[in-house]
Structure 1
Amino acid sequence: MSSKVVTIVGGHGQIALRLAKLLSPTHKVISIIRTPTQIPDIQNVNSTPLILSLETDPVSKFTEVFKNSAVVVFSAGSGGKGGIERTKAVDYEGALKVFDAIEGVEREEKPRLVLVSSIDIRGDPDKFPDHYTDEDVVTSKTFYATLGEYFRLKYEADKNLARRTSFKWTIIRPGLLTNEPGTGKGLVGRTPLKSVSRDDVAHLLALLVDKPEAADMVVEFVNGGDTSIEQALNGAIKSGQFTGWRE
């Protein structure tokens, strides 16, 4: 694999720190963070810290950073915390700011984007995917009862991204995040509503940095099964059934 410049938006997040540690031996990693107090944690994973705010800095500043990036990973998010205004500012408006910034990069091949979204987001909360079990339906209703507005904003950001054609993108929708040790195994594609280790999400993202063939994919990701994460990802890519936007 050739060395790339990879910029992580939301660089101090738990997944982002794990990802930077995985990528830094082979790639140059830039981690966008909010405050100077986060710098030591970024340096500890051998990434270059850069202070920018999704909420207050203009698109042009992000474009300037992205102009030398091969891949941008959007791993920022409010996690449904801080009220609806901050959720909108980070998970929706912040995401669109990054999309606009990538579009503003003036080179023939713009940076590729890998977006970390969320499992179980969809346009109609009352319409359940065909592959959901009865247990999944109950779980989904619980999710939407507590995080409905967060899910709506994440969905709208995903939908906006899917309309963009000037750069390549991949959307990953991980399950309920845990801090359990990574298993190295998982389900990629259309999955049940299960949990997934942050270690394993970082593992999947690290693989995607070097898989441009995963462009235009929207996949869910949870722990389970006996297949390695790389094999599961390769299978999803090969099948072609997860290519393109779906409601």
Structure 2
Amino acid sequence: MTDTANRNVLIIGGHGKVAQLATPRLVSAGHDVTSLIRSPEQVPDIEALGSTPQVRDLTALRVEDWVELMRDMDVVIWSAGNGGRDGSSATYAIDRDGALALIDALTQLGEDAPRLLMVSYLGSLEHGVSPEDPFFPYADAKETVDRRLLDSDLDYLILAPSRLTMEPAGGIEVGDNARSAEDSSTTSRELVAMVLTEMAGRDSLPQEKILPFVDADGGADAAQRGVEKL
């Protein structure tokens, strides 16, 4: 169950769908939330959610920039992602290089480093995506980042949801981090937001460093009870 300590939380990719669902939950839990966004036009949306906007181009941030951004933070949530929409160069710049720079900064901060909650996807470590597939740059980037985290001594958790939907959260089922080509499982973005809020408030994270989870039967109450038992 979530602990009661209020924390300073930085959300990377604060205007994304998952982030916009997580932000009001984090604020309601008593956390002080800052959202890193890419455009001044997104500022009103972020302020309406109760978060403090920070307009920066994450692809231009150097390790030392990340260090300054995270110095007073207790929790950092990585929910940014290009996902191949703007081509492979943009995908690698955001999903791989940006995330690796952030990890380098966390390493530099040492014992003062905040907790990292990394939103990845189910099966990232053994994705099996062909290099000819348009999805490959994203899959390759996420695998690189996740493996880098697994080789680190940072305080982190990799969230591995399945195909994301905008359906309301139901129950939650935790499995292993593998997904076949025939897998039709889904994960509600609202459920991801619930897991992020739960893990942001805990004193300690689960021992397993990757949390693969998908939708299950049940309503919002069932989902909340399941999340609290993680």
TM-score by length of 1: 0.80
Equivalent-residue separation in structure 2 for 1:5 and 1:151 (angstroms): 30
How far 1:216 moved relative to its partner?
Answer: 5.0
Deviation at 1:188, TM superposition (A): 2.0
Counterpart-to-counterpart distance in 1, 2:68 and 2:19: 21
> Equivalent residue for 2:196?
205
Match in the other structure for 1:149: 137
Q: Which residue of 1 aligns with 2:174?
A: 188
Residues 210-219 or 147-156, more deviating? 210-219
The letter for the 2-side match of 1:3 is: N
Of residues 163, 177, 181, the one that matches 2:164 is 177
What's the RMSD between the two structures over aligned residues?
Answer: 2.2
Q: Which has the higher contact order (CA 8 A, sep 6+)?
A: 2
Task: Provide, for residues 81-133 of structure 1, a one-character-per-residue CA deviation record: whole Å limited to 9, x for no partner.
Answer: 11111110011111101111222226x342010000011223461xxxxxxxx
Supply the distance in 1 between the matched residues of 2:121 and 2:164 (Cα, whole angstroms). Answer: 10
Equivalent AA in structure 1 for residue 214 of structure 2 = V
C-alpha deviation, 1:145, in angstroms: 4.4
CA contact (8 A) 1:115 1:172 kept: yes
**Aligned CA distance change for structure 1 residues 80 and 145 (closer, same or farther; 3 Å):** same
Percent identity of equivalent pairs: 30
Specify which of 4, 8, 30 is matched with residue 5 of structure 1: 8
Q: Distance in 2 between matches of 1:215 and 1:27?
A: 24
Partner of 2:34: 30
Question: Residues 38-57 of structure 1 correspond to what in structure 2 (within 5 A)?
Answer: 38-57=42-61
Match of 2:211 in 1: 219
In structure 1, stretches of 5+ residues that fail to align are 126-140, 237-247
The answer to whether the 8 A contact 2:34-2:51 is kept is: yes
The one-letter amino acid of 1:83's match is G
Distance 2:156 2:192 in 1: 17
Match of 2:150 among 139, 156, 162: 162
Segment of structure 1 superposing worse, 151-160 or 115-124: 115-124
Q: Which runs of 5+ in 2 are unaligned?
A: none
The Cα shift of 1:146 comes to 4.7
CA gap of 1:148–1:180, structure 2 versus 1, over 3 A, is same
Change in Cα spacing, 1:215 to 1:59, as seen in structure 2 (3 Å) is farther
Q: Which of the residues 113, 122, 139 maps onto 1:119?
A: 122
| SS class of match (2:210) | strand
1:195-231 Cα shifts (integer Å, max 9, x gaps): 1111111011111112323255202121014593455
**One-letter amino acid matched to 2:23:** A
* SS of corresponding position for 1:77: coil
Further displaced range: 10-19 or 187-196: 187-196
TM-score (norm 2): 0.86
- The answer to whether the 8 A contact 1:174-1:201 is kept is yes
2: distance between equivalents of 1:124 and 1:173? 12
215-224 or 188-197: which moved more? 188-197
- 8 Å Cα contact 2:157/2:209 also seen in 1: yes
Count of aligned positions: 217
